[in-house]
Chain A
């Protein structure tokens, strides 16, 4: 069914009791042309673009939990493209442009709101670095504007812009096209669209083993039985190394817990995303009124979906330094996702040492913003057995050639 004002009215008249399921829940077939491990945003987008752009529809997406229950439903929903290097800027800006059309493309309201991202500066060194970044972005066609302290005081009145603030603000760089989207809706939208093109989405199906013959994968051992596959794609974020070990190779990836918190709902008070790399916190306000707050990853490798209290404490201290008025606000929830961090903080969308096995990983603390573009280039890599122009620099071979792409600064979250 196509979602529209007409379908909304029709279903309102029947008390919303007859909406069809957004996607089917089929039992797995014995074999698929492509099996994608991981039903997060990246896995589902990859399935959708394989079907849509490359005509491959004999696809299964295996999800060990439920759609929207992993990192896609655990991030802080920021979408932006202010990356330093040419290849990153091109990739992430393509992703922002796909997000701009995504609700229409997928016929699903992902609530993309281009409310802008304001990066605060606290020192002359940061201002100089901001000039360099702004020039690099401008050269790549990504516009940002500089905000003075007076601009900040006018547009973000609750931000402490006084000279005796704990960390005085001396300016900011804003990307106006940055924004937020409803994160689990992005997963649902791709799931529904992929299902509509014939993709099987199989939830509650964990992969326990990868069967190889020579340098090829033949089948996956799953909790719902063995599934043979022509090609296999891994898109499992923090568990990438676990899957790679099943296939017999190692990755330049370390898994960490990345925490976030939301406050109790407040009246509208913040209509943009505000972040500070130096003080190290970022805040936005969700449509429900909750403040969504994120900061550093935890300090040690982890697969536990919870983090240390010290990290939350630092995050709160930084948030209050910028917005002292929030001192009496209570937190509602705290959680963690397991993120896959590469040494250069750039993603890996690549062929692997196994001939018909492909991997998308290394998205680290910023995978959500990359979902549409990540899906397009990963689908291209799987379908044609060679990278798309936008992920040529994201191969595993860069760790051997030494051609790394260090985006630790632009990652905005300390890796």
Chain B
């Protein structure tokens, strides 16, 4: 069971949260992007084995979105922060 750091509620059990996947490094304008660039942004993931940034929402709590850095191989947590500071 992960214990995740909600920015408002402090450390809480994973079952209160929902994960929304990795923070995307790709940003494109759908109006002008080629099919390939759009498909890459929409579907492709880095899916890193190791430390990455990912979105979580305290869905069964205060409903705040935030990001954390987590090692996907060891589940070790590092930093976290509010939306706007993820990149």
A interacts with B: yes
**Knowing A254-B21, A301-B54, A399-B39 touch, does A242 contact B49 (C-beta < 8 A)?**
yes
CB of A411 within 8 Å of the partner chain: no
Q: How far is the CA of A253 from the CA of B21 in the complex (A)?
A: 11
CB of B27 within 8 Å of the partner chain: no
| Across the A-B interface, the 7 shortest Cβ-Cβ residue pairs | A241-B47, A252-B43, A300-B19, A250-B44, A400-B39, A310-B15, A399-B43
- A234-252 interface with B by 8 A CB criterion: 239, 241-242, 245, 250-252
A241 touches B45 (CB 8 A): yes
B19 touches A308 (CB 8 A): no
**Knowing A239-B49, A254-B21, A301-B19 touch, does A308 contact B2 (C-beta < 8 A)?**
yes
CB of B1 within 8 Å of the partner chain: yes
B14 touches A304 (CB 8 A): no
Residues of chain B with a CB closer than 8 A to A300's CB: 2, 14, 19, 54, 70
Q: How far is the CA of A302 from the CA of B39 in the complex (A)?
A: 23
CB of B22 within 8 Å of the partner chain: yes
> Chain A binding site: helix, strand, loop or mixed by DSSP?
mixed
Q: Identify the closest chain A residue to B15 (Cβ).
A: A310
Residues of chain A with a CB closer than 8 A to B54's CB: 300-301
CB of B82 within 8 Å of the partner chain: no
Q: How far is the CA of A301 from the CA of B23 in the complex (A)?
A: 12
- B37-74 interface with A by 8 A CB criterion: 39-40, 42-49, 52, 54, 70, 72-74
> Chain B binding site: helix, strand, loop or mixed by DSSP?
mixed
Residues of chain B with a CB closer than 8 A to A255's CB: 47, 49, 72
Q: Which B residues are closer than 8 A to A by beta carbons?
A: 1-2, 13-15, 18-19, 21-22, 35-36, 39-40, 42-49, 52, 54, 70, 72-75
CB of A335 within 8 Å of the partner chain: no
Further 20 A-B residue pairs, CB within 8 A, beyond A300-B54, A304-B74: A241-B47, A250-B40, A250-B46, A250-B47, A252-B43, A253-B45, A254-B47, A299-B19, A300-B2, A300-B14, A300-B19, A301-B22, A301-B52, A301-B72, A302-B75, A303-B72, A308-B14, A310-B1, A310-B13, A399-B43
The number of residue pairs between A and B whose CB atoms lie closer than 8 Å in the complex comes to 70
B43 touches A343 (CB 8 A): yes
B44 touches A252 (CB 8 A): yes
**Knowing A250-B45, A251-B47 touch, does A304 contact B75 (C-beta < 8 A)?**
yes
Residues of chain B with a CB closer than 8 A to A241's CB: 45-49
Q: Identify the closest chain A residue to B73 (Cβ).
A: A303
Jot down 12 A-B pairs with beta carbons below 8 A, ordered by A: A241-B45, A241-B49, A245-B46, A250-B45, A251-B44, A253-B45, A299-B14, A304-B74, A304-B75, A308-B15, A400-B39, A401-B35
Q: How far is the CA of A245 from the CA of B50 in the complex (A)?
A: 13
Q: Identify the closest chain B residue to A401 (Cβ).
A: B35
Residues of chain A with a CB closer than 8 A to B49's CB: 239, 241-242, 255, 303
- A273-325 interface with B by 8 A CB criterion: 299-304, 308-310
Q: How far is the CA of A310 from the CA of B12 in the complex (A)?
A: 13
Residues of chain A with a CB closer than 8 A to B72's CB: 255, 301-304
Q: Identify the closest chain A residue to B26 (Cβ).
A: A250
Q: How far is the CA of A308 from the CA of B73 in the complex (A)?
A: 14
Residues of chain A with a CB closer than 8 A to B19's CB: 299-301
Q: How far is the CA of A250 from the CA of B39 in the complex (A)?
A: 11
Q: Identify the closest chain B residue to A309 (Cβ).
A: B1
**Knowing A254-B21, A299-B19, A400-B35 touch, does A304 contact B47 (C-beta < 8 A)?**
no
From A250, A300, A343, residue with most partner B Cβ within 10 Å: A300
From B19, B22, B43, B52, residue with most partner A Cβ within 10 Å: B43
**Knowing A242-B49, A253-B45, A254-B45 touch, does A299 contact B39 (C-beta < 8 A)?**
no
Closest chain B CB from A238 CB (angstroms)? 9
Q: How far is the CA of A304 from the CA of B71 in the complex (A)?
A: 9
Instruction: Choose from A250, A254, A304 the contact partner of B73 (Cβ within 8 Å).
Output: A304
Q: How far is the CA of A308 from the CA of B70 in the complex (A)?
A: 15
Closest chain B CB from A405 CB (angstroms)? 13
Q: How far is the CA of A239 from the CA of B47 in the complex (A)?
A: 9
Q: Identify the closest chain A residue to B38 (Cβ).
A: A400
Closest chain B CB from A64 CB (angstroms)? 13
B15 touches A253 (CB 8 A): no
B1 touches A299 (CB 8 A): no
Residues of chain A with a CB closer than 8 A to B70's CB: 300
Closest chain B CB from A382 CB (angstroms)? 23
Q: How far is the CA of A253 from the CA of B46 in the complex (A)?
A: 8
